[in-house]
Amino acid sequence: MIAVRAPLRVSLGGGGTDLPSFFCDEEGFVLSAAIDKHVGLLVSTAFQSRFRLKHLAWEEVESAADVEHPILRAALTHHWSGVPLELASVADVPAGTGLGSSGAYAVSAIRALSGLEGEELAEAACHLEIELLARTVGKQDQYAAVYGGVNALTFRPGSVDVRPLELPEVSASALRERFLLFYTGGSRSASKVLSDQVSRTLAGDPGVRDNLRRTASLARETCAALERGDLDACGELMNESWEIKRARSAAMVPQSLASLRDLALRSGGSGAMLMGAGGGGFLLVLAEDAGRLRAVMEEAGAPELPFGIDTEGCVLR
């Protein structure tokens, strides 16, 4: 039996510029931090000659082609010899909440079945989601899950540059103590939320392209602010990134989430942004008064998800 786990991530800027519809023409840039919340798999050879899979549902099938779970079906079909297996999925956080769980799950599945590592593993997971499953998703989640740590990710046609950040103590401490995640409820398909952005990008919509250029620029500014320890600038840039995302598509930021964010900023937060494609899930807040902020958000029905930084990336044991 083997166990594989891969970290989820928080995006500190640049989300949306990691989609091929954008970076195939212009350079994408994302600032991403892997966190100590994971998805993973336990895998063993099946005693009987059938695949037995436990995820949100239970499956028992004759062949990999019969598996209903799309990621597991694609991973088994393309990265396994066909010998029946038993697989059990585990996760610290619900899927569809903006922390990159599907990308991390694809990474875990491929690592368990193939033994791939590093860039090969990240690209195989991207290929599975984007090409094989035709999902409208980007590449940051898979790379964050493989490498761990806090990274500046630059996306170009045919390559992804991963630059680990060396942060001053003030920024490292803030990531441990002042950046807080709050669950706003609900889940969504990132692919569905992003479909409007992608279709408009491919159609050459100048408004969307300008929005994504500004998104990448803000992420570079946030990266520089973190590297010099300027947390005030980080808060301001988070707020501008929120407004840019909101302008890109109304579906990304429902009014209920906007109201919750406003509450966070009135209650001890200096910057706040929604994780993932939008539509629901987790709100990341840079806190000036963490105690007050936690109490107010808890009362508002948005509990905190405490987290630290994962430095290991995808691990097989």
The answer on 125 and 10 residing in a single domain is yes
What is the spatial distance between Cα 5 and Cα 268, in angstroms, rounded to a whole number? 34
Residue type, 230: D
Give the tens place of pLDDT for each residue, 95-133.
888 999 999 999 999 999 999 999 999 999 999 999 999
Query: Can you give the residue range of the structural domain that contains 92?
Result: 2-165+311-316
User: Looking at the 3D structure of the chain, how many domains does it have?
Assistant: 2
252: confidence class by pLDDT, cuts 50, 70, 90 = low
Q: 125 vs 94, 109, 128, CA distance in Å?
A: 20, 9, 5
Q: What DSSP assignment string belongs to 95-126? A: TTSSS-HHHHHHHHHHHHHH---HHHHHHHHH
The answer on 20 and 119 residing in a single domain is yes
The answer on 252 and 120 residing in a single domain is no
Q: What DSSP assignment string belongs to 218-252? A: HHHHHHHHHHHT-HHHHHHHHHHHHHHHHHH-GGG
Length of the chain: 317
The answer on 136 and 96 residing in a single domain is yes
What is the spatial distance between Cα 273 and Cα 243, in angstroms, rounded to a whole number? 9
> What CATH number has the domain bearing residue 6?
3.30.230.10
The answer on 78 and 115 residing in a single domain is yes
The verdict on residue 38 lying in a domain is yes
Give the tens place of pLDDT for each residue, 136-175.
899 999 999 999 999 999 999 999 999 999 999 999 999 9
Structure tokens belonging to residue 45: 């050879």
| In the chain, % of residues over pLDDT 70 | 92
The verdict on residue 173 lying in a domain is yes
The answer on 174 and 55 residing in a single domain is no
- Smallest Cα–Cα separation from 155: which of 7, 301, 25? 25
The kind and range of the H/E element at 35 are strand 28-45
The answer on 270 and 211 residing in a single domain is yes
The verdict on residue 161 lying in a domain is yes
Burial (CB count <10 Å: 0-12, 13-18, 19+), residue 3: middle
Q: Taking CA 157 as the corner, what is the angle to CA 234 and CA 213, rounded to the nearest 5 degrees?
A: 35
- Residue 25: partners with Cβ closer than 8 Å, 6 or more residues away: none
Structure tokens belonging to residue 6: 């891969």
The answer on 236 and 138 residing in a single domain is no
Mean pLDDT of the region 238-246 = 92
Structure tokens belonging to residue 117: 């590592």
Give the tens place of pLDDT for each residue, 261-282.
999 999 999 999 999 766 678 9
Q: 22 vs 28, 157, 252, CA distance in Å?
A: 7, 10, 18
> What CATH number has the domain bearing residue 290?
3.30.70.890
Mean pLDDT of the region 238-247 = 91
The answer on 108 and 50 residing in a single domain is yes
The Cβ of residue 95 has, within 10 Å, a number of other Cβ atoms equal to 18
| In the chain, % of residues over pLDDT 90 | 80
The answer on 138 and 66 residing in a single domain is yes
The verdict on residue 141 lying in a domain is yes
The verdict on residue 306 lying in a domain is no
Whether 77 contacts 61, CB under 8 Å: no
The answer on 118 and 23 residing in a single domain is yes
Q: Please report, in angstroms and rounded to a whole number, the separation of the first and last CA atoms in the chain.
A: 9
Higher pLDDT, 140 or 192: 140
The answer on 266 and 135 residing in a single domain is no
The verdict on residue 305 lying in a domain is no
Structure tokens belonging to residue 103: 């990308």
The verdict on residue 12 lying in a domain is yes
The verdict on residue 92 lying in a domain is yes
What is the spatial distance between Cα 241 and Cα 252, in angstroms, rounded to a whole number? 12
Give the tens place of pLDDT for each residue, 7-24.
999 999 999 999 999 999
- Give strand pairing partners of 30: 153
